[in-house]
Structure 1
Amino acid sequence: MRITLLKAPKYPDTTCDIGHHHFTYSLYLHEGDWRTGRVDEEGWKFNVPFLVYPIAPESEAVSEKTWLTLESAGGVFLSALKPAEDGSDDLILRLYENHGARTPVKVIFPHTSILSASECDLMERELHSLNVVDTSICLAFTPFEIKTIRMKRLQGVQFHATGFPFRGDSY
């Protein structure tokens, strides 16, 4: 087995990459190909570990409830969960399909009141509205597709997005 960790070219900078470097790597043994072995998920766990923040016990952000669940055959990941850039109270979800397959996904918000949802471009401009059924949205991904979803919440409903990872099936 061999691994190249660093390549120091002489052009355009003859001193680039010279100095001390620290590397961390991992071997993950699995059966089947990288998709069935869920190598992409293990890579997330390795490269983006859980971050733990101390918060007051009486904080409203502390909840034992699952805030968001993705139901799919696998390969769809949440890469961003953030407030909309336009200053509205809308919430933006960005998801992507990583396995190169057509994948249906159901995004479920079991404890959140969603007024409406729409698919947007990467600049968060609305493309078309999505059908919200109860507390869920159904999406269909093409291979390697990125989807940006804008959610409008009922007035006065707060989203708490403190201290959860952007990987796995539940957030």
Structure 2
Amino acid sequence: LFYNAWDIDFNYRKKPKKVLKEISHICFMDGPKVIRRNIYKYKKTKIVMDTILTENSNLIEFSLDIEFYEKFKMLRTEFNPNFFSDEVTCEIQFGVIKRSTLDNDPISKAQFEICAHKFVDVSNENYGLALLNDSKYGHHVKNGIISLNLLRSPIYPDKTADRGRHHIRYALYPHINNFENSDVTQTAILFNNEPILVSKRLSFESIIKSDTPNIVIDTMKKAENSNGVIVRLYESIGKTCKAKIKTSFKYNNTYEVDLLENIIKPIKIDELDFSPFEIKTLLFEL
């Protein structure tokens, strides 16, 4: 793979590849988790991979600790599910985009490597399979294969790119229903925001929440130029809907604002209308 940081060879899948062999494994339990730990080695590279099943969870999690010392090599994980679809749903910022999994025209052929944020999902009307990731964005979803790019080793512009130690997480999430009627988005958000464990018992109400599953509350911050709170939320699956927002804090007035926090109009948060993938920014005046 004699390509540097921003390029991948169109024909890279035709080049020789090495399936890493397991050199040892153990199985053990850790609280509610059942873990199989596999150890792989390739030249100077070492991979310790935990495959994790957790009680009351539908995720198959993978946690990798890697010492990677390669040059012009790419490390990928691949899955070959027993069903597939002609489209893959890819999460992007503030929504999703559907791409072809076929190679029947120049555009779909050019999508031999695609980007996605927290997940890719292949589904039919009855069920689907999502590959969730934590900060790994390069995917190949073609011809029955779901592949995630874990590491590369280019030499330009950084001669030591990707060399060294890495901790990587990803997960498979089988679900019922098609993507639009699943909880893939919510599950991916939770996977990317692990709970913080503390040695105390805590109980508190959510600061802000929506009554509509496909409305994602993405950002909450102090207003720049007024005594207020800014909340940014969006419709996540491409459907027109209505939503009601509830807060646990007191406020005086609510406004829809632009990205510079200039007031557009006053609004009522118990009757918000969203068009597909619409982003709204709200000002709660304190």
Tell me the TM-score normalised to structure 2 length.
0.44
CA distance in 1, matches of 2:187, 2:266: 34
Q: Please say if residues 208 and 246 of structure 2, whose CA atoms lie closer than 8 Å, have aligned partners that are also in contact.
A: yes
Q: Which residue of 2 aligns with 1:93?
A: 231
How many aligned residue pairs are there?
A: 141
| Distance apart, 1:38 and its partner CA | 1.0
Which of 1 and 2 has higher RCO (CA within 8 Å, sep 6+)?
1
Assess, with a 3 A threshold, how the Cα gap between structure 1 residues 152 and 8 changes in structure 2: closer, same or farther: same
- Find out whether 1:25 has 2:25 as its counterpart: no
In structure 2, runs of 5+ residues without a counterpart are 1-78, 80-146
Name the SS for the 1:15 alignment partner: coil
Q: How does 1:108-123 map to 2 (within 5 A)?
A: 108-109=246-247, 112-123=249-260
Q: Which residue of 2 aligns with 1:70?
A: 210
Q: Calculate the aligned-residue CA RMSD, in Å.
A: 2.6
| Distance apart, 1:77 and its partner CA | 0.8
Tell me which stretches of 4 or more aligned residues in structure 1 moved more than 6 Å. none
Q: Please say if residues 209 and 217 of structure 2, whose CA atoms lie closer than 8 Å, have aligned partners that are also in contact.
A: no
Task: Give % identity.
Answer: 30
Deviations 1:77-109 (A, max 9, x none): 1112222112x3211111111111212111123
Deviations 1:86-139 (A, max 9, x none): 2x3211111111111212111123x55432111111221111221x3xxx4321
Answer with 1 or 2: which has the greater Rg.
2
In structure 1, runs of 5+ residues without a counterpart are 154-171
CA distance in 1, matches of 2:244, 2:164: 48
- Higher-strand-fraction structure: 2
- AA paired with 1:90? G
Assess, with a 3 A threshold, how the Cα gap between structure 1 residues 92 and 6 changes in structure 2: closer, same or farther: same
Tell me the TM-score normalised to structure 1 length.
0.69
CA distance in 2, matches of 1:8, 1:45: 30
